[in-house]
Amino acid sequence: MTAVVPDRPVGGRLVDQFEYGLDAPICLTWELTYACNLACVHCLSSSGRRDPRELSTAEAEAVVDELQRMQVFYVNVGGGEPTVRPDFWHLLDYAVGHDVGVKFSTNGVKLTRERAAQLAATDYVDVQISLDGATAEVNDRVRGTGSFATAVRALENLAEAGMEDFKVSVVVTRENVSQLDAFRALTDRYGAQLRITRLRPSGRGADVWDQLHPTQAQQRELYSWLLANGDRVLTGDSFFHLSAYGEALPGLNLCGAGRVVCLIDPVGDVYACPFAIHEQFLAGNVRGEGGFQRVWQQSDLFRELRSPQTGGACTRCAHFDACRGGCMAAKFFTGLPLDGPDPECVQGYGETALAARDAALATPRSSLDHSHTGPVRGQPTLLGMPALPPARACDESPLAGVPLT
């Protein structure tokens, strides 16, 4: 049955219009590959090995053409590690040449001086370097040995090349909340901007969420820090659940999944959100008839998600207008109902709901896991990866079998 979407209101607050969805996403994430040369313990897409069904260069160009027709002005490119795709630099130029600006996330391994100079000379390209500790000790426990030094080298290369407004992207964890000021100092040193995001229990993040998600006391600390510094820090929709402490924070105070946010994964599957890679949130595939536009505008799932929430425990909460019940993906992957409280609800209802879960029921997991099964350079030290013998060539090298010319 086709879901009926109520009409979007004309005028009024932007957030109320966003709730009903837009003709084109304003925050489209496109993960170009599941291949990655690191193995971060909290990777939201469980990346590591390339998926052989990955979109070809011609298919990726066709997606860009479609985004241009839909007037999607920017796309957030990620992975995996997007720069390990041999055609990454071509696709970047192709997108920019077709009026689709690119913001891409990278671990920085491939950001040489030459590439940094190329980026600095290209308009409509933004880059963010991932770093999850302001010191090597904290960062490398999550992202792998040597990854801090690699990221800092990339920051140096970008700064030397004269790149402006590049970002440092940090997933806030129990281990790095106390380093927020240090992150600011580090980004200031390179003329970069700090972007902080929330740890979600998605992908391998589910395995470490209990260990790494901020405590209630740390959430309060983070909220105070954001009130004092939020105007100079990017957060997207990461921390709107903290608004239930009182004052609304800058950023999108709404779960935008399927409304203004979505993901195209490396094989062309379209999900409601980058943190919701699970068949329940799969709306279609860009290879299907009508391409991405049809999925975005007509899929039953997205039409359903565009209805304002009218029921559930959260709508009876005095803080609902501020916090909107929090993050759909965080609830789903911790086994909580989607119309109930966020697992990190600042009023404590999430903890109560987590404790009341039926222990006999397994929490949902994505059926997709591209994690390396063999040793990887920069292997994380927080969680040991099992040292199994590689079953396929691409277990050892994400680019095995990919023609490099």
- Residues near ligand SF4 (CB under 6 A) are 237, 241, 244, 255-257, 261, 273, 275-276, 314, 317, 319-320, 323, 325-329, 341-342, 345, 347, 349
User: Which is nearer to ligand SF4, 265 or 342 (by Cβ)?
Assistant: 342
CB of 258 to ligand SF4, least distance (A): 8
CB of 265 to ligand SF4, least distance (A): 14
User: Which is nearer to ligand SF4, 347 or 397 (by Cβ)?
Assistant: 347
User: Which is nearer to ligand SF4, 67 or 317 (by Cβ)?
Assistant: 317
CB of 297 to ligand SF4, least distance (A): 18
CB of 366 to ligand SF4, least distance (A): 14
User: Which is nearer to ligand SF4, 191 or 251 (by Cβ)?
Assistant: 251
User: Which is nearer to ligand SF4, 184 or 259 (by Cβ)?
Assistant: 259
Using CA atoms, how far apart are residues 242 and 326, in angstroms rounded to an integer?
9
In one-letter notation, the amino acid at residue 178 is S
Name the helix (H) or strand (E) containing 212.
helix 205-212
User: Which is nearer to ligand SF4, 138 or 314 (by Cβ)?
Assistant: 314
Neighbours of 26 (CB within 10 A): 14
User: Which is nearer to ligand SF4, 21 or 144 (by Cβ)?
Assistant: 21
End-to-end CA distance of the chain: 47
Tell me the DSSP string of 312-371: SGGGGSTTHHHHTT--HHHHHTTT--TTS--TT-TTSHHHHHHHTS-TTSPPP--S----
Neighbours of 264 (CB within 10 A): 27
- Contact between residue 320 and residue 348 where contact means Cβ atoms under 8 Å apart: no
Structure tokens at 149: 């030094």
CB of 166 to ligand SF4, least distance (A): 23
Structure tokens at 322: 């501020």
- Contact between residue 43 and residue 32 where contact means Cβ atoms under 8 Å apart: no
CB of 71 to ligand SF4, least distance (A): 21
Which residues fall within 8 angstroms of residue 227, CB to CB, at 6 or more apart?
A: 247, 249
